Chain A
Amino acid sequence: MGFFLDAWTWLATGSNWTGGDGVVHRLGEHLYLTAVCLGAACLIALPAGLWLGHVGRGGALAVNISNAGRAVPTFAVLVLLTLSPLGKQGDLPTIIALVLFALPPLLTNTYVGMRETDRDVVEAARGMGMSGRQLLARVEVPLAFPLIMTGVRSAAVQVVATATLAALPGGGGLGRIITAGFGTYDTPQVVAGAALVAALALLVEGVLVVAERFLDPMRGRRRGGGKPQPSTDGPRSGSPSRSTPDKFDEKVIPAQPTA
């Protein structure tokens, strides 16, 4: 436990927070990289996922891209990009890697969210004469919102983690505090840097969870309002909750004679 006290001492030392290698500067780099890359990835993946989900195409792509993203080690991609000619372009290899690894969770979750909107509700909206755009904006996106936000959260956590790894091939960010500590066998610094990174990741996740609550277009009208459960989860409580249009038919229709 002594190491953790030493790490606390490291964090409490003012000189560790200032200067080019200081926490403040590294945190700034980390936040900048995270914001830019998450933004860029959202700009690319959200429209693509929404469109694919809306027209119902590219399901295999959307699912496989997340499997591929999981199998490819981020560390390897960072090093490969750094050794390539792109490596001479400053932060560019880091930014490319960060955007690349943020895409799969965004694309997959958006697509799955769009496809899992209740088809009956979509049919009904179409029957009411909604155009494709109205359908997308008023029905599909609000219903898919929790999964879309899950994608954004996964992507954000992914970006924070990858930005940490970018320190290994010499990129900026809080990871540099950890790698610098490894370089000088300064375990308290390693632990302090790791604690900062972990705190940042949890903070980003927490902020996005709160944002999801406030931005949810169906706020207060969704069952539970929490995280989406795995699809086979089914209703755990026996009472048929009528306030949930997206689950309504699953519970009621099978109980009626279907013939």
Chain B
Amino acid sequence: MSGVDGLYGADAALAGAAGKAGGDCLSANEWICPEYVTSRGQELADATAQHVWITVVSVVLALLVAFPLALAARRWQRAYGPVLGLTTILYTVPSLAMYALLLPLFGVGASVVVTGLVLYSLTVLVRNILAGLESVPDDAREAARGMGYGPGRLLFGVELPLSLPALMAGLRIATVSAVALTTVGAIVGFGGLGNLIYEGMDSFFKAQVLTASVICVLLAVLADVLLLGVQRLLTPWVRAGARKPRRGRDAGRGPGEDGGAGGPEPGGPVDTVPAAAGKEA
């Protein structure tokens, strides 16, 4: 790809040297075209706004659905298997098929895309909320009970804050995936930046496809960084406790024995998700 870009870049330089009129790169259909950004700024902004609201609404709804589901799965052993199984099955359905299957239920509209994204996000969120709740030390629970905490206060005052690292890790994965998956919503006309990619594909408009793709990746990265910041703010104790090894495995071993690169767990138990949990298409 970079070789190709280089070629076109050289063309662009030549065209620029030959001089002249704005919109050259548009008529030459080049990949990188500042002219496109300036002339279609409004279109890009609208598409980005649609992309952002679809993603945000989906992830927030998914969180609202996932939390009771996770609590139910924890409360009733019988619900545990079905909840995890069902969300995993939903996760396996390819995005294009998911939107197509939801089409007759909702008709063409944003709700198809939002519902699809909610269903996808559920898998990661339910798993991570459960993992987070299970990681709460029994001592903390006992202490809270001993102090007279009722079930509600125990959940929201002790268990939820302590499971925030896992929850936030899941939220980040769900959000980044949702940003990428929104593009496929272009099939029903509600794909945010995906709409521009889809149009650009039909009209071979290279600058539009590349610009929309790049903004899409930037959105995902920005969302991830923002959520990471929120996570840091909400869980100051994780960093404070990161210096002390908390896991049994580490405790059973002398400080110098750990043979070098200690595996992919930087900074304690933040990334509790199995590395596989991620939906890309």
Contacts and interface: CB of A to CB of B under 8 A. Distances in A.
Contacts of B276: 105, 108-109, 147, 150-151, 153-154
B134 A232 contact: yes
A201 to B, nearest CB: 5
Interface string A32-65: 0000000000000000000000001101001100
B131 A230 contact: yes
Interface string B168-201: 0000010011011101101100000010011011
A75 B194 contact: yes
A228 B166 contact: no
Contacts of A165: 94-96, 184, 281
B272 A167 contact: no
Contacts of B104: 3-4, 187, 191
B92 A202 contact: yes
A195 B279 CA distance: 19
A210 interface: no
B147 interface: no
Contacts of A164: 94-97, 281
A83 B265 CA distance: 40
A234 B134 contact: yes
A250 to B, nearest CB: 5
Interface residues of B, number: 68
A101 B281 contact: yes
Contacts of A231: 265, 269, 272, 274
Interface centre among A73, A165, A195 (most CB of B within 10 A): A73
Contacts of B233: none
Interface string B121-139: 0000001100100110000
Interface of A: 3-4, 56-57, 59, 62-63, 66-67, 69-77, 79-80, 82-85, 101, 104-105, 108-109, 111-112, 115-116, 119, 123, 147, 150-151, 153-154, 157-158, 160-162, 164-165, 167-169, 175, 178-179, 181-182, 187, 190-191, 193-195, 197-198, 201-202, 205, 228-234, 236, 249-251, 253-254, 256, 258
19 contacts: A67-B224, A72-B280, A73-B194, A75-B197, A83-B206, A85-B4, A160-B94, A162-B281, A165-B95, A168-B96, A191-B100, A194-B98, A194-B100, A197-B93, A197-B96, A198-B101, A202-B93, A231-B269, A250-B249
Given A75-B186, A150-B274, A233-B135, 11 more contacts: A56-B259, A66-B275, A66-B278, A69-B280, A75-B184, A76-B213, A154-B276, A230-B274, A231-B269, A249-B249, A249-B252
Interface of B: 1, 4, 89, 92-98, 100-101, 103-104, 127-128, 131, 134-135, 166, 173, 176-177, 179-181, 183-184, 186-187, 194, 197-198, 200-201, 204, 206, 209-210, 212-213, 216-217, 220-221, 224, 247-249, 251-252, 258-261, 263-265, 269, 272-276, 278-281
